[in-house]
Structures are given as C-alpha cells and as structure tokens.
Amino acid sequence: MTSNSAASINGKENSLQAQTPAAELSTLLAGDMDNVNAFIISEMQSDVALIPKLAGYLIAAGGKRVRPLLTLASASLFSKNIESSYGLAAAVEFIHTATLLHDDVVDGSEERRGQKAANLIFGNDTSVLVGDFLFSRAFQLMVKSGSIDVLRILSNASAVIAEGEVLQLQTQGDLSTNAQTYYKVIAAKTAELFAAACEIGPVIAGKQEHAAAMRSYGYNLGMAFQIADDVLDYQGNSKDLGKNTGDDFHDHKVTLPVILAFEEGTEDEKEFWRRCFEKEDIHKGDLEHAYNLIQKYDTCSKALQIARNFSSEAKEALSTIETDTSILKTLENLPDCLVSRSS
C-alpha cells in the first residue's frame, strides 16, 4: 500500500464505526479505488467512439464495485505496495461489466444499476460487441501484469463464468432443477469471479501460500452474495437491487426461494409454478401469488440461512491469515453484511 494510502486509512479509521463493512472497505481503500476508477476510464477508451460511450454509460452508473475492491483488499493484506494490483482490479471490473452487458441482452432486462439497461439504448448487437471488447481489454491487462499465474486464474474464471451463464440458460424454467444444480450455476456465474478477485492478491504479492485461503474466502462470499441477491428479488425493492423486483420470476429463473417453495408445495401449487415457469404462461396477479407461496413456506428465510452458512465458511477461511489490520477485520465482517441486505 502506498504511504498516501496508509495515511488516508489512518485518518479515516475513526469514522468507520457507523459504516457497514462494505462502506468501510470503500473508505479504507478510497485513494486506491480512485486510481482504479481512473485506470478503468483510461483503459476503456477506443478510437471507435461508440465503445467508450456505451461502456461509460454502464460503468458511470456506479454499482457496488465489490469485485475490484476485493482485489485491492486482498493485495493490501500481503503487500505494502499495491499499485501493481490497479490494472488487475480494472480487469476484474471489465470482466464483470462484460457479463452484465451480455446478461441484459440474454435476459431482456429493462433496468441495470438503477437506470435503463444499455441494450435498450444502444441495441443488442452493440451491447454484445462492447462486452466482447471489455473481455478482450481485461485479457490485455492480465498480460501486462507479467504473471502467468494471474493470467491462468482470471482466464479460467472467464471460461467458468461463460459456462455458468449457459448452464443458467439451460435451467431456465426447468423446475426439475434442484438446489445442487442451482449452487453449480451460481458458483460459476458469480462465486468464481469473487474467488479469482481475492486469489490474485497474494499471488501478485508472491505469497502463494495464502492463495487457497483467499480463494476460499472469495468463493464462499460470492455464494452468500448471490443467494442473498436472489432472495432480494422476492422481498427487496428496486432501489436496493438496481433492477426491477420480480425480474427473476418473469425471466423464469429457477432460484433457491422458488426451488424450496416448489419442493414443499401442494400439487396445485406445483402446477402454478409449472404454468409460470415451464409453460411461460404468466397472468396478472401471478407475481403476487408467487410472493405469497414463498412467504407461506418461508423459503426466503431458509435460503438466507444457507447463505449464512456460506458466510461462515468465508470468515473461517480468513482465520489462517496472520495480520492485524483494519482491512482484514472489515473483510471478516463483510460476508454477514452482504447477506443482511436481504434480512
């Protein structure tokens, strides 16, 4: 970590008491994250004017930036100088942004990060191609790091994410999907990038002996995060989500609250789910009925308990990291914070 970053952290620690762990992490790494954001803006430039215009539309909308923050936080645990992680944090964000652009085309989403989805403004073809550009730029940044291990970790993550997206497409509307298949989907499409973002921290610092622990932390954090996010679709609000609530229902995505409600439901209730998901025949009032069934069987609470189990695994993974820093303490508190969004 730079001396300026260290001074910034020391000056801000007194203000952290009232913040959530996610906000604390942003505060502790504010200077470094500003540099990453500048790096992102610089690296998304192109002579093809439409590329930075569309990429900037989505990136400027903000988002939580959890993944690049995890890259910075992980690097800071093992090195006092984390400037070398800036490009990799940007690469992680580019991979994530590319998947969002592709997702919104596949899902036909209307909203992303609290604003109209990019494909509705720029078109599906352009969104897909700009997503491809961001993936390519991410690989260029990986190569610049000079680390074959980093290239291996992030390129593998990119392939796994793509597999996860295809698997989710295969399970869409398929109520034979069980919890184990659902975990496989979210492990690939979400947890893999969380895991990679955390793993590259010790790798670029030359502390490979801690790579497995940080990968486990990121993986379990990502699993908890995605389950909580899927719960929010049935009991959250659009402001919290940055997209419309009920999108998963209308997109026929078989998420954990639905899987549990279907398994416990009566035959009439199962027929309701089949009509909505497998036959894609949704009537007015069906979303409200789905909410009622999920509430009847308390499947959001059951799903959140599973998320908390993953959260506990994430915290346990950090127990082998022997450093006493504000960032480590914040990382320890982060899993419960992300799950509590849905509580």
Residue 32 lies in a domain: yes
Q: Rounded to whole angstroms, how far apart are CA atoms 295 and 178? A: 20
Per the structure, the count of domains in the chain is: 1
CATH number at residue 271: 1.10.600.10
Q: What is the pLDDT of residue 175?
A: 97
Mean pLDDT by 10 residues, the chain (343 residues): 44 54 90 91 90 81 83 94 92 93 78 73 85 93 92 96 94 96 97 98 94 98 96 75 76 96 98 97 96 96 97 96 90 92 67
Residue 3 lies in a domain: no
Residue 65 lies in a domain: yes
Residue 10 lies in a domain: no
Residue 278 lies in a domain: yes
Tokens 């604390």 found at: 24
Q: What DSSP string describes 63-77?
A: ---HHHHHHHHHHHH
Residue 217 lies in a domain: yes
Q: What is the pLDDT of residue 95?
A: 95
Full residue range of the structural domain in which residue 101 is found: 18-340
Q: Rounded to whole angstroms, how far apart are CA atoms 1 and 297? A: 48
Q: What is the pLDDT of residue 63?
A: 67
Residue 301 lies in a domain: yes
